[in-house]
Amino acid sequence: MRLQFQFLETVNGLDNSNSQIITRIRGQLDKATTAPGMVMISLSAVALGAAFGGYLPLISLWMETFNISFQKIGIVCGASAVGVVSSAYYAPKLAARYGYIATINVGLVVAAIMTVAFRFTDNYGLWLALRFVSGLGLGLHWVLTEAWLANIVTEKYRTRVMAIYATAISIGFAIGPMVIWLFGALSIIPFIIMGALLILAALPILRLKGHEPKDSQTRSASPLILIKKAPTVASACIVVGSVDLALISLLPAMITRTPEAAPILALIIVPAMAIGATILQYPIAIIADKHGLRKVGVMTVCAGLIFASLIPFFLGSVLLTLLFGFLAAGLVYGLYSIGLAMLSRRFSGAEIVAANAGFVILFELSNLMGPWVAGFLLDINMRYGLPIFTCAIGIFYVSISWIRRRTNSNY
């Protein structure tokens, strides 16, 4: 009887402890946001990131079996960027007419169908078309969920909330490639699983019925407002967009064509980069809030690009390659959260939706051009192509940031 009483006391203590933790979390969410949505959007982002993180190396390895050049692989991997750009212009109007939830989830279903269909053809033109339509669907989720967060997040916690959102995507990126480990890149099973993950991403969004933002913007968003008023922010998304997809889409194929590289690296390099982005996002956001967004942005991107440029010279070492990939992706991707935070401090009211759409458009245009340029340089020289690409991108961002260093003291 005494033991039973002690057990009940322990359970009650655990219940009270859990209750206190939940109360504390709710309190933090209340401070960070003005309405529900952050948790469900982040959960949806995990599933979306898993589909992305597995699908990009999957199609890269699948096309590699057809002996396709780096340049063409990069173009196919970046083709969805054109679809996302189109979504960025029309997503606000669609959301205003049909609602955020319906628009996001229809886009996810379309993207899921295109994901599975990719496996059933070996026609290069059809690959491009499928990736474009997939980008249309995925773009609706990306643009509208970020706009949703921009509507509900408080100004004080904007950097950290965006870091949490980016971390959620990174967690998914780390999970996705595990599907390739289990089922390989040649069977249809991983393609089906990637499609299923996109459907799974729709479920948390459905839970937010009744909490959709009411002030949807009805005019087409343009990147011009971002380029004109905040070129440093624009250059930040160009850097991340260019380097991010170039590394994810081309490194697996690059490793398979390097004799001294361990074959397992082709499968684990993307998860290593995803883990880097997952672990480093929030600490970078805290440091940036304390020491200045612009200063920390320059330091992190320079360090990240240096590590990225070292990868081709150390492919013979699994440990060093994974370490450099971890640091490169984590530091460079940190600029994404910093860029969104800079954007939120530079714009307000209705402008923030247009500027955010502009951010996505420039990011995806960079996704389109980055893999193509990097692939072109790799076709010329396997070892020096990537360092030349990353160094040029770094010089571009540092130059813009230095020129604009006195224009806005808010960051």
User: Quick one: average pLDDT of 375-402?
Assistant: 90
What's 79's DSSP letter? T
The DSSP-derived string for 86-108 is: HHHHHHHHHHHHH-HHHHHHHHH
CATH number of 35-403: 1.20.1250.20
Domain residue spans of the chain: 35-403
Selected residue with higher pLDDT from 32 and 58: 58
Residue 28 has what pLDDT? 61
Q: How far is residue 136's CA from residue 107's CA, in Å, rounded to a whole number?
A: 7
Residue 390 has what pLDDT? 92
Please name the helix (run of DSSP H) or strand (run of DSSP E) that holds residue 165, with its range, or none.
Answer: helix 158-175
- Classify the C-alpha dihedral 134-135-141-142 as positive or negative: positive
Residue 18 has what pLDDT? 43
pLDDT interval class at 389 (50, 70, 90): very high
Selected residue with higher pLDDT from 37 and 30: 37
Residue 348 has what pLDDT? 64
- Tracing tokens 């955010």 back to the chain, one arrives at 356
3-state secondary structure 223-276: CHHHHHHCHHHHHHHHHHHHHHHHHHHHHHHHHHCCCCCCCCHHHHHHHHHHHH
- Tracing tokens 């643009």 back to the chain, one arrives at 143
Highest mean pLDDT among 54-63, 78-87, 98-107, 179-188: 98-107
Q: How far is residue 277's CA from residue 174's CA, in Å, rounded to a whole number?
A: 9
User: Quick one: average pLDDT of 65-85?
Assistant: 80
Selected residue with higher pLDDT from 88 and 331: 331
What's 33's DSSP letter? B
Q: How far is residue 186's CA from residue 360's CA, in Å, rounded to a whole number?
A: 32
With beta carbons less than 8 A apart as the criterion, state whether 346 and 230 touch: yes
What's 119's DSSP letter? G
- % of the chain beyond a pLDDT of 70: 87
Q: What is the CA radius of gyration of the chain?
A: 21
Q: What is the pLDDT of residues 217-257, one digit of tens each?
A: 445 445 577 888 888 888 998 999 899 888 887 888 888 88
pLDDT interval class at 300 (50, 70, 90): very high
Q: Name which of 299, 329, 245 is nearest 77 in CA terms.
A: 245
> Residue 33: beta bridge partners?
153
- For residue 73, what are its two tokens? 């692989």
Q: Name which of 232, 371, 237, 244 is nearest 305 in CA terms.
A: 244
With beta carbons less than 8 A apart as the criterion, state whether 96 and 216 touch: yes
Enter the pTM of the model: 0.76
